[in-house]
Amino acid sequence: MDVVFYRYSPEQTLAKLTEAGLPALLGQPLRHARNDAQDFVDEAKAMVRLFGQVLGGEAPRRAEEWCAYFDERVRFVTGRVAQVPPNRRVRLYYVRGPQALSTQGRGSYTFWAGTLAGADMVVKDAPLADKGAASMEDIVRWDPEVVLVGRQYPLDLVTADPRWRDVAAVRQGRVHSMPEGVFYWDGGPETVLTLQFIAKLLYPELFRDFDMAAEIKAYYARFYRTTLSDDDATKLLRGQSPDGSRFNPMNN
């Protein structure tokens, strides 16, 4: 092994890698104030460019190809959702888990992907950074119209909790699984797919001609050199593992 990219539990992880004699690089900043959508876009592209620079060979060219794709997809999505006036944007809440009140704030990839996708991210005024906890009082006050449950946690974190029963998303049956792929879709390069998924989910009338499953298959073929079957793409969109399960064994 020539190099290790890491992000979680950075101090402990780096100490163990150093002890093992493995060179390591932090893939993403630990504390970076993503103050606007452009900060999010710039950081996502810087991460992929770092991968390309370190891996060498054809990797820098492929990294630039990914960055160009990211920019094109942002233009595609934002160009369409621009038709939705601010007062009609769908209120969205993201469950990071493992509890329903565990979410991600303005410092997260999910927040800015959702914002670019035209969502009214209900945590926008909350004092949350990358992650944190909301209160049930917050949820009732925000009254999200759509809830996305990520990291392969069960939907019944929300739907089976009687405290949520009067929240608009539960009343209207709009509690959905976040797709999951190579990594959780709330961080990493697949966030470019997150913004497309959210836009299609919230504003299907604006994206009638856009096939999310086909986009996923094309993305995986292009950037991961992996061919997904129709069944693979369906499971991925449902946040399921290849065996059809939906379970987070790490509880993180």
* pLDDT tens-place string over residues 39-92: 999 999 999 999 999 889 999 999 999 999 999 999 999 999 999 999 999 999
Per-residue pLDDT band for 10 (boundaries 50, 70, 90) equals low
Tell me if 177 sits within 8 A of 236, measured CB to CB. Answer: no
Residue 7 has φ and ψ, to the nearest 5°, of -150, -45
Model pLDDT, residue 16? 76
Q: Which domains does the chain have, with CATH numbers?
A: 31-252 (3.40.50.1980)
Query: What share of the chain in percent tops pLDDT 90?
Result: 75
Query: Across all residues in the chain, what is the average pLDDT?
Result: 91
β 132-133/102-103 pair status: antiparallel
> How many C-beta atoms lie closer than 10 Å to residue 35's C-beta?
11
Nearest to 189 by CA among 86, 100, 69, 102: 69
- The pTM assigned to this predicted structure is 0.92
Per-residue pLDDT band for 29 (boundaries 50, 70, 90) equals low
Distance CA 152, CA 162 (A): 21
> How many C-beta atoms lie closer than 10 Å to residue 26's C-beta?
14
pLDDT digits (tens, 9 = 90+) for 175-191: 999 999 998 999 889 99
Distance CA 48, CA 66 (A): 8
